[in-house]
Amino acid sequence: MSTAPGPKGALRGSQAAWVGIALFLLVWFCNLDYRHLIRTDEGRYAEIAREMVVSGDWITPRQNGYKYFEKPPLQYWATATAFELFGIHEWTARLWTALCGLMGIAFTFFAARRIWDVRVATLAAVILGGTLQWVAMGHFSSLDMSLAAFLSAAIAAFCAAHGPHPSRSAPGRDAGRLRTAGATATAGSAAAVRPLTDPRWMMAAWACAALATLSKGIVAMALPAATIGLYMLWRRDWDIIRRSRPIAGGALFIVITAPWFVLVAGRNPEFLQFFFIQEHLSRFLTPMHGRNAPLWFFVPVLIGGLMPWTLALPAALKAAWPRSVQRFDPAGFLGLWVVVSFCFFSLSHSKLESYILPIYPALAVLLALTLPGLGRRAFGWLAASNTLAGVALAGATVVMVERGSRHIPAELLGRYEPWLIGAGVALAAAGLIAGHLDRTARRVGAIITLAAGSLLASQLALSGHESLAPLYSSYHTALGIRPLLTPDTPFYSVDTYDHTMPFYAGRTLIMVGYKDEMAVPIDREPGPFLPDLARFEQAWRAAPHALALMTAEQFSRFEQAGLPMAQVARDPRRVIVSKP
């Protein structure tokens, strides 16, 4: 007797899938405009795009009026385009990042469907869409999500270009069943087949690598090249370079990337040395930006960022272990990509938590191959770990709010408390429900439940962060001074710089004493920069009217020195004064 679903069952399944996608999109995009931009990255990249719109110069990026060559322009262009089309808002400043996070999920689905089958692809997309760090960085405006999305898309397309997995019954045909980790491990018993490459997927890989390069630089070339080279040595696949279509693909890569590099270098002779030597080679080899950290820095980041799937990580990596596949091994390649990327960023002298984002789509695929076949006891521990994490988050929140700190007042933490407790409840409930579903032989439903709980918890925690906006965003203070900001009013930033202030003030600031990451462009073209407080006091006294941003401590010193100024706005971290 046939157990295949009939037309009505298939229709109901299709409708449920579309409802699920609609709900996911609603949750994914719902809070882009709820939070104000925070320092440093969100304010910086929104302001660079705003200055592109205002100046009309889309070749030379500028931050606060100074040339900013640390990163390529793809995200600035995308955000500036959103500003032009929809206006300058918080949601348009974050739109590109959110779309990139969504694109990474979609590309993971399509590539996994090409290599394996639609159910593995669906699980991979569900897993990635519920991975804590992927969700969080998909709603925080930085360049790391753009890089991760295009870089992981390039790797996925590269794997897909080499054809379906050998265990798949036929290219283009849905195998119809989720394979367990054990089945995956024996998939290499297929007879030797001469590897073929789909040119469309291979050219897509080159195009995505080019867009990744325009997102954050040459790391987008170094990591795939290292992975391909090591795979070639590991599997003795000496033909892989030829199959990668280096001539046609390289030409496409150059066509996409070269125009901006040529134009910006032609207009700015200092660009090549600063971009390639200082911002790539020196950043990797030296702690020049003060981001040095221990070799094990990314271990706890991965443990927390991979939630709710962390306990399944060893089993996922085991799914990529070498086996006797006599043609391209996509699971093995993805596992190697994870290891190479993790080691590369661990060895770098510049470390930020978001740098390992490119490994999550590959891990999502390996988890999709692993979780359906995970033992019931192991999956029970996985579900229980999320319940425990949710309870711990809620409990820690209560303790944290009661104590407060000198950096974050208890009053602001109190506003954040219900959001974090809600996130903890979502995690704990998802773990309990997933455990029950698995005990009743509904493993796929349990996986979806864990992903949904993690997505909801992440969005609650992110949305609640708006409670701390007075500490991390200048929105409220900028709103209060806008009536005073006439075009001829000088606006100084004294011995400090808040990256969100130019965006919310709608204009650049005159920096005093403090250079930060703009030291090199300021030294080349100082413009209105004032090098010390003595110059500022002289300019302040001479101006008929002016505004200045500073710390509360600096304001007290000026008051004691008798400098004429009156406070017009204040929050826990900044004071804005005017000249009476």
pLDDT digits (tens, 9 = 90+) for 171-228: 333 333 333 333 333 333 333 444 568 899 999 999 999 999 999 999 999 999 999 9
Query: What is the distance between the alpha carbons of residues 350 and 285, in angstroms, rounded to a whole number?
Result: 8
With 0-12 CB in 10 A as exposed, 13-18 as middle and 19+ as buried, what is 544? exposed
Helix 410-439 to helix 443-464 angle, to the nearest 10 degrees?
170
pLDDT, tens digit (0-9, with 9 covering 90-100), for 142-162: 999 999 999 999 999 999 998
The predicted structure's pLDDT at residue 168: 54
Is 148:97 a contact under the CB 8 Å cutoff? no
> Model-level pTM?
0.90
Tell me how far apart the 2 most distant CA atoms of the chain are, in Å.
93
Higher pLDDT, 290 or 54: 54
The predicted structure's pLDDT at residue 192: 40
One-letter amino acid at 54 equals V
Please name the helix (run of DSSP H) or strand (run of DSSP E) that holds residue 62, with its range, or none: strand 62-63
The predicted structure's pLDDT at residue 496: 93
In what order do the strands lie in the sheet containing 547-550? Answer: 510-512, 491-494, 547-550, 574-578, 566-571
Token pair for 428: 């704990």
Q: Cis before residue 470, ω within 30 degrees of 0?
A: no
Query: What is the distance between the alpha carbons of residues 385 and 197, in angstroms, rounded to a whole number?
Result: 42
- Across the chain, what does the average pLDDT equal? 88
Contacts of 255 (CB under 8 A, 6+ apart): none
The predicted structure's pLDDT at residue 72: 95
pLDDT, tens digit (0-9, with 9 covering 90-100), for 403-414: 767 678 888 889
Mean pLDDT check: name the lowest of 207-216, 238-247, 325-334, 526-535.
325-334
The predicted structure's pLDDT at residue 399: 85
Query: What is the distance between the alpha carbons of residues 130 and 120, in angstroms, rounded to a whole number?
Result: 15
Whether the per-residue pLDDT at 2 is higher than 70: the answer is no
Higher pLDDT, 573 or 492: 492
Look-up of token digits 């037309």: 7
3-state helix, strand, coil in the chain (%, to 5): 65, 5, 30
Whether the per-residue pLDDT at 506 is higher than 90: the answer is yes
The predicted structure's pLDDT at residue 350: 81
Strand (E) positions, 95-233? none
The predicted structure's pLDDT at residue 244: 93
Position 167 confidence tier, pLDDT thresholds 50, 70, 90: low
Whats the size of the chain, residue-wise?
Answer: 580
pLDDT, tens digit (0-9, with 9 covering 90-100), for 444-488: 999 999 999 999 999 999 999 999 998 999 998 998 898 898 889
The predicted structure's pLDDT at residue 290: 53
